[in-house]
Structure 1
Amino acid sequence: MALKIDPWTFPDPQTTAKTGDGLQKIVLGGGCFWCTEAVYRQLDGVLDVRPGYAGGTAATADYKTVCTGATDHVEVIEVSYDAGRIDLGQILKIFFSIAHDPTQKDRQGNDVGRQYRSAIFYADDDQRQVAEAYIRQIDGAALFEDKVQTEVVPLVEFFEAEEYHHDFAARNPMQGYIRAVSTPKVEKLKAVHGKLLKGRLAS
Structure 2
Amino acid sequence: MSNVAFRLLTGVAALGVGYALVGGASSLSAETAVNAPAPLVSVASNAPSETAIFAGGCFWGVQGVFQHVKGVTGAVSGFTGGAAGNAHYDRVSDGDTGHAESVRVTFDPRVVSYADLLRVYFSVVADPTQLNAQGPDSGTQYRSALFPQNAAQARVAQAYLSQLRQARLWKRPIVTRIEPAQPFYAAEGYHQDYLTLHPDAGYIRYNDLPKLAALKKLYPQLWRERPVLVRG
Are the aligned partners of 2:61 and 2:195 in contact in 1 as well (CA < 8 Å)? yes
Q: Please report how far the alpha carbon of residue 191 of structure 1 lies from its aligned counterpart in structure 2 after TM superposition.
A: 1.2
Q: Could you list the structure 1 runs, at least 4 aligned residues long, displaced by more than 6 angstroms after superposition.
A: none
Q: Partner amino acid for 2:107?
A: Y
Counterparts of 1:26-175 in structure 2, within 5 Å, are 26-175=52-201
Identity of aligned residues (%): 34
CA-atom RMSD in angstroms? 1.6
CA distance in 1 between counterparts of 2:190 and 2:207 reads 19
State the SS of the aligned residue for 1:48.
Answer: strand
2:218 to 181, 192, 196: 192
CA distance in 2 between counterparts of 1:24 and 1:84 reads 10
Q: Residues 70-112 of structure 1, C-alpha deviation per residue, up to 9 Å, x if partnerless?
A: 1100000000000011011110000011111011110002100
Q: Please report how far the alpha carbon of residue 20 of structure 1 lies from its aligned counterpart in structure 2 after TM superposition.
A: 3.1
Match of 1:23 in 2: 49
Structure 2 residue runs without a partner (length 5+): 1-29, 227-232
CA distance in 2 between counterparts of 1:120 and 1:66 reads 18
Q: Partner amino acid for 2:163?
A: Q
Q: Residues 116-167 of structure 1, C-alpha deviation per residue, up to 9 Å, x if partnerless?
A: 0011111111111100110011001111112211111121200010111110
Q: Please report how far the alpha carbon of residue 194 of structure 1 lies from its aligned counterpart in structure 2 after TM superposition.
A: 1.2
Once the two structures are overlaid, the 10-residue window that deviates more, 157-166 or 15-24, is: 15-24
Q: Please report how far the alpha carbon of residue 19 of structure 1 lies from its aligned counterpart in structure 2 after TM superposition.
A: 3.5
Are the aligned partners of 2:79 and 2:187 in contact in 1 as well (CA < 8 Å)? yes
Q: When the two structures are superposed, what TM-score results if normalisation uses the length of structure 2?
A: 0.81
Structure 1 residue runs without a partner (length 5+): none
Are the aligned partners of 2:31 and 2:207 in contact in 1 as well (CA < 8 Å)? no
**1:2–1:142 distance in 2 versus 1, CA, 3 Å:** farther
Match of 2:19 in 1: none
Q: Please report how far the alpha carbon of residue 18 of structure 1 lies from its aligned counterpart in structure 2 after TM superposition.
A: 4.6
Are the aligned partners of 1:123 and 1:155 in contact in 2 as well (CA < 8 Å)? yes
State the SS of the aligned residue for 1:143.
Answer: coil
CA distance in 2 between counterparts of 1:184 and 1:199 reads 15
CA distance in 2 between counterparts of 1:2 and 1:162 reads 25
Q: Residues 36-84 of structure 1, C-alpha deviation per residue, up to 9 Å, x if partnerless?
A: 1110111110000000000000111000011111110000000000001
